[in-house]
Amino acid sequence: MSATGLRACLLLGSAREPRLATRVLTFVTSEMKRRGWECDIVDPLEVNLPVLQTPVFFYKNPDDVPPVLNDIAAKIKAADAFVIITCEYNNCLPPGLLNTIAHFSPFAYSKRTSSIICYSAGMYGGIRAAMQGRCLLGEINTVSIPNVFGMPKVQDTLTEDGKPLDDHLVSGAEKHLNELEWYTRALKVARDSDASL
């Protein structure tokens, strides 16, 4: 299956050092690009947003919106799908991810697919945060695909430069991305045929 013509916005969860997020992101983007996806990345460490006080849709004058928010908004608008790459802090979604998502209206994400790729240094693979993520993704009007791709003990299964050391990661990524592509293409057809959007 090829994802040529599809674009994803990858929303990274963790800004905490030392970062396992970087190796997971490298692996995921490599797998997606190999299949033909265009990938935009939103990393809370790089964008360094303040704690939410003024979301984009609260600005009365569009010229007052900070450039960093306009840059993220453009990535969100261009996306056919959203890929959440998250660990868990205290068994919850990381605050950097929540803060990034909340800067934009739920309608900004509407009628696109979303997926959750979670990981941890422990045996649960971030799945507790993923379950919270599924609720959040529904509330911001995305269609979260059924498959959640969990990566337990990721420090032992991915090298620092994002190379898999475990066949589970390769087969898990293939299954996850096959499903993401199916749902994304289906919703894209529906969006393209709806003159009201």
- The percent helix, strand, coil of the chain (3-state, each to 5) is 45, 20, 35
pLDDT of 54 reads: 95
Asked whether the predicted pLDDT for residue 3 surpasses 80, the reply is no
Dump pLDDT digits (tens) for 70-129. 999 999 999 999 999 999 999 999 999 999 999 999 999 999 999 999 999 999 899 999
The CATH architecture one would assign to domain 7-192 is 3-Layer(aba) Sandwich (3.40)
pLDDT at 8 over 80: yes
2 band by pLDDT with thresholds 50, 70 and 90: low
User: For a pLDDT cut of 70, what percent of the chain falls above it?
Assistant: 97
pLDDT digits (tens, 9 = 90+) for 144-160: 999 999 999 999 999 99
For residue 36, pLDDT over 70 is answered with: yes
Question: What is d(CA 136, CA 184) in angstroms, rounded to the nearest whole number?
Answer: 18
Q: Where are the domains of the chain?
A: 7-192
Q: What is the pLDDT of residue 175?
A: 98
Q: What is the pTM of this model?
A: 0.95
Eight-state DSSP code of residue 158: B
Task: Give the three-class secondary structure for 34.
Answer: helix
- Cβ neighbours of residue 111 closer than 8 Å, sequence gap 6 or more: 141, 142, 143, 187, 190, 191, 197
Which helix (H) or strand (E) segment holds residue 117: the answer is: strand 113-119
